[in-house]
Chains A and B, each alone.
Chain A
Amino acid sequence: MIAPGTAQGVRGAARAATQTNLRVDLWQRSRQLVYDAMGVVVALVMLFPIYWMVATAFKPGRDILSLTPKWIPAPFTLQNFQDAIARPFFIDDVKNSVVVVGVMLVLALAIAFLAAVGTARFGFRGRTAFLVMIIGVQMVPLNALIIPLYLMLDRLGQTDALVGVIGVYLAVVLPFMVWTLRGFVANIPAELEESAMIDGCTRVGAFWRITFPLVGPGLVATAIFGFIQAWNEYIIAYVLLSSPNNQTLTVWLASFTTNHGPQWGPLMAGATLTGLPVVAFFLILQRYLAGGLTAGAVKG
């Protein structure tokens, strides 16, 4: 099951003497070919929409609005990207997205790290309750909380202000961050710290010099996760931020229409620009994600 190729190879060699071998081999090879072809079809179906976005973004206007679509962007133009960037509030909204994500991440990492250390290094009354809460709140659909969040921030005078959005995103990413970082901290043996203390480090010093550097990869992974969540979020930002120069990039992208309907070229260029940082970060992160999700879920 894990490596069918090798298993079949060994079995095939063992039977090499028999006359039917040739037919079996041919059968297996054509079956392998069918599987591979199906795999390629799956990849193409999945990738096509993304290809189509990038291809459209690089096409000149007359090739986009043509009844017979052009499959390859030739001739090739950067005009759509220039148009997208030149549209009102693009720069403002990029700035807003960066501020929201940046401030949120710094706060989230600090807060989550403290809680991760607290739950991984200490046994205390209420610890399990805290961890159950961390898992439980992730089941709450954010869409259902928009109304009270809006009314709460309205009362505080913080609608149409980035502070409110930062606060909400902070609470959204925090549970996952605490949970993940807790795993990273728990994996570092406390004995390392203890030996540093024997060698004359203070408790805080031992933690700072030994554990903190070892948790580095965990901090990077959770930071990227938080970045992606916040950068992609739409509905909270859409409801809370009303003036166009206060909005974030996804809100800008979703309201990308003119009086003449959507301008597909600049829209696809804008979409490409919005997705680019996320895809880049995601490629770094994905092995942590897939690994972390299933660790311990199946007994090997």
Chain B
Amino acid sequence: MGVAIATPDLEPDLPDSRRRPSWRSVNFLPYALITPSVAVIGGVLAFPLAMLAWLSLQHYGLRELIAHQGDWVGLGNYQAILADPLFHQVIVRSLLFTLACVGLTVILSTLIALLLLKVRQAVRVLVMSSLVFVWATPVIVTVDIWQWMFDYEFGVINYVLTQIHVGNFIHHNWFDNPIQGFGVFVALVVWGAIPFVTITLFAGLLQVPADVVDAARVDGAGPWQTFRFVVAPILKPIFLIVTCLSTIWDFGVFNQIYVMLNQRPSSDYYVIAIYSYRESFGVTQYGLGAAIAVVMVLVLVIVTFFYVRETVKVAEIA
């Protein structure tokens, strides 16, 4: 998805309609200019979002698909999924997975960004190029690569782990055990997310005024104190942005798990996006699938709400 960032500055920077003589009392030109965008975004994103909520209140299976007409069941779908023990597992699993991915991504990226300040120029260029390469590689391509690296028979990871005596990993199937399997998925997602977060944080670090940091040092602050009390507060808006975006992306993870498990994940591997997909397209219960998707959106709305509130707060203080 897109990554335009909600910079706190939203106020009009030059709507100087005073200098620009409008030949009618209301100028219709700007409305004409934004109409195509509104139509496309409304038709393809906003309308389906409303339709999703509507669908979640109906029984909509194969018969209804053919008839183009659902059966109204009110909150029946929500009652059904709330009564389903698998749904509880899926929610808990998705939240833990998201927490692990986001936490590791932000911590590792912060460490790498701080390291980038310390290394010499040539090493910095090397690290930045490696990050850009990983960032640029399409997700499906990275999934195929990791599938090959973790292949139980000829995978390079099993070979290396056996060689360095971590244990006997010959013919070890990582996806037999969901805990190990999710370990691989967390590693894959974090590896793929580090470039964006690191580069964003590093760009932010470069904007931290040097005199403020020097002043903290002169006053006797150690490296950790300098980071905790001087650098981190200045970078707070950027931390908020990357944490919020990472949460949105990681909570909706689908491709990595679905494609890595050859498009047939067992129910041990259901996260919320896969569960919703399975219910709708696997067993053609579009109403149930829609109800699960609504829950997904609601969780993200809560996260986003905190992000927007914090951003507004930061903007007001600054």
User: B-contacting residues of A (Cβ < 8 Å)?
Assistant: 1-2, 4-5, 32, 35-36, 38-40, 42-44, 46-47, 49-50, 52-53, 56, 64-69, 110-112, 114-115, 117-124, 126-128, 130-135, 137-152, 154-155, 167-168, 170-176, 178-180, 186, 190, 225, 228-229, 231-232, 234-235, 239, 250, 253-257, 262, 264, 267-268, 271, 274-275, 278-279, 282-283, 286, 289-300
A67–B152 alpha-carbon span in the complex (Å): 11
B: number of interface residues (CB 8 Å) = 125
Q: Does B105 contact A (CB under 8 A)?
A: no
User: Are B235 and A250 interface neighbours, CB within 8 A?
Assistant: no
Chain B interface SS verdict (over half): helix
Q: Of A1, A143, A279, which is within 8 A of B296 by CB?
A: A143
Least CB separation from A235: chain B residue: B254
Q: B6 contacts which chain A residues (CB < 8 A)? A: 135
Q: Does B191 contact A (CB under 8 A)?
A: yes
Q: How far is the CB of B130 from chain A (nearest CB, A)?
A: 4
Chain B contacts with A in 1-35, Cβ cutoff 8 A = 1-10, 12-17, 20, 27, 29-34
User: A-contacting residues of B (Cβ < 8 Å)?
Assistant: 1-10, 12-17, 20, 27, 29-34, 36-38, 40-41, 43-49, 51-52, 55, 60, 65, 68, 112, 115-120, 123-124, 126-127, 129-149, 151, 153-154, 156, 159, 170, 191, 194-195, 199-200, 203-210, 213-214, 231, 234-235, 237-238, 241, 248, 251-252, 254-255, 259, 262-263, 273, 276-277, 280-281, 286, 289-290, 293-294, 296-297, 300-301, 304, 318
User: Are B55 and A39 interface neighbours, CB within 8 A?
Assistant: no
Q: Of A139, A262, A300, which is within 8 A of B207 by CB?
A: A300
Q: A122 contacts which chain B residues (CB < 8 A)? A: 15, 17, 20, 27, 29-30, 33
Given contacts A148-B290, A151-B65, A268-B144, contact A297 B45 (CB under 8 A): no
User: Are B138 and A274 interface neighbours, CB within 8 A?
Assistant: yes
User: Are B37 and A115 interface neighbours, CB within 8 A?
Assistant: yes
Given contacts A1-B117, A154-B65, contact A111 B259 (CB under 8 A): no
User: Are B208 and A271 interface neighbours, CB within 8 A?
Assistant: no
Q: How far is the CB of B254 from chain A (nearest CB, A)?
A: 5
Given contacts A67-B154, A115-B34, A300-B207, contact A294 B142 (CB under 8 A): no
Q: Of B44, B213, B248, B252, which is within 8 A of A149 by CB?
A: B44
User: Are B40 and A39 interface neighbours, CB within 8 A?
Assistant: no
User: Are B17 and A123 interface neighbours, CB within 8 A?
Assistant: yes
User: Are B17 and A46 interface neighbours, CB within 8 A?
Assistant: no
Q: List 18 A-B contacts (CB under 8 A).
A: A35-B118, A46-B130, A49-B146, A65-B153, A121-B30, A123-B12, A123-B14, A133-B41, A141-B273, A141-B300, A148-B48, A149-B48, A179-B4, A250-B138, A268-B148, A271-B140, A294-B204, A297-B241
Q: How far is the CB of B201 from chain A (nearest CB, A)?
A: 9
Q: How far is the CB of A171 from chain B (nearest CB, A)?
A: 3
User: Are B140 and A282 interface neighbours, CB within 8 A?
Assistant: no
A256–B137 alpha-carbon span in the complex (Å): 18
A147–B294 alpha-carbon span in the complex (Å): 11
Q: A121 contacts which chain B residues (CB < 8 A)? A: 14, 30
User: Are A299 and B318 interface neighbours, CB within 8 A?
Assistant: yes
Given contacts A39-B127, A275-B137, contact A297 B237 (CB under 8 A): yes
Q: Of A137, A179, A267, which is within 8 A of B46 by CB?
A: A137
User: Are A138 and B1 interface neighbours, CB within 8 A?
Assistant: yes
Q: A40 contacts which chain B residues (CB < 8 A)? A: 123, 126
Least CB separation from A64: chain B residue: B154
A135–B203 alpha-carbon span in the complex (Å): 22
Q: B153 contacts which chain A residues (CB < 8 A)? A: 65
A166–B294 alpha-carbon span in the complex (Å): 25
